[in-house]
Amino acid sequence: MKSRPSFPAKLDTSPPQKMVKPSSPATWTAAKSLRPHSPVASNASGLGLDSATVRSAMVKRLADAGVEDEMVLKALLSVERHQFLDTALANQAYEDTSLPIGFGQTISKPNVVARMIELLRQGKNLKITGKLGRVLEIGTGCGYQAALLSHVAQEVYSIERIKGLYERARENIRPMRFGNLHLLFGDGMQGYVAGAPYAGIIAAAGGDDIPTAWIEQLADGGRLVAPMSVTKGSQSLVVIDKTSSGIQKTVLEQVNFVPLVSGVL
């Protein structure tokens, strides 16, 4: 069995990999094959940071909007989102809004995070009542989604290309002592081959296509959830299932994520 890096780990940076379409046969299925998603109305403003109460209200709104996976809901209840934000923004932590985290990046809306993690856990490679196997996250950001993933997966590798954000996420997460979470500094477009194969891959940035490296590192029966530019000027959430007969892609609702960029800063 291959050894795994201890926390935290650092990737070797090599020339960025060009994004190309996967050579495997692909089938585009209708979005109706997956459960529809409802937007979440935000009414958390003014509740203050009696954190448990406000967070519980946020989770209830997400459940009312259609999030059904109990493990995802419990993770959202357990992880304190305000701990990943600057103090000046803490009173907005449990509103359904994206917020700046520095370096031109944002923390995604709670409903978007919940939606993507639930989709990841609906893949064919797991039983919904149990934890996912090994997961790769592209784009650690401030570390919030990585912390959530550590509650729903057996092992998590999370890659961040911006050194300042990687260091911030490391400081945010270190006190939480997640033994199954490994933070990596490197080019997420290359994935992380040393941890492959992955039961799930989830990305917080979108490009014109899905990097071949991600497809190659996804286990047979695994699932990838990522934003992608399906039409010019707009992104959609895309689910990719890797099967024995090829790659199946499903295009879902429109989303708005930062662009997927190669290299490190």
Cis-peptide, bond into residue 211, ω within 30° of zero: no
The length of the chain in residues reads 265
Kindly provide the b/e burial profile for residues 229-256, where b requires at least 16 CB atoms within 10 angstroms of the residue's own CB.
bbeeeebbbbbbbbeeeebbbbbbeebe
Catalytic residues: 108
CB 201 within 8 A of CB 212: no
C-alpha gyration radius of the chain: 17
What are the structure tokens assigned to 184, written together?
Answer: 């990596």
Distances (CA, A) of 103 to 52, 132, 215, 226: 29, 31, 28, 21
Q: Is 24 exposed, middle or buried (0-12, 13-18, 19+ CB in 10 A)?
A: middle
What's the rounded Cα separation, in Å, for the pair 61 and 42?
8
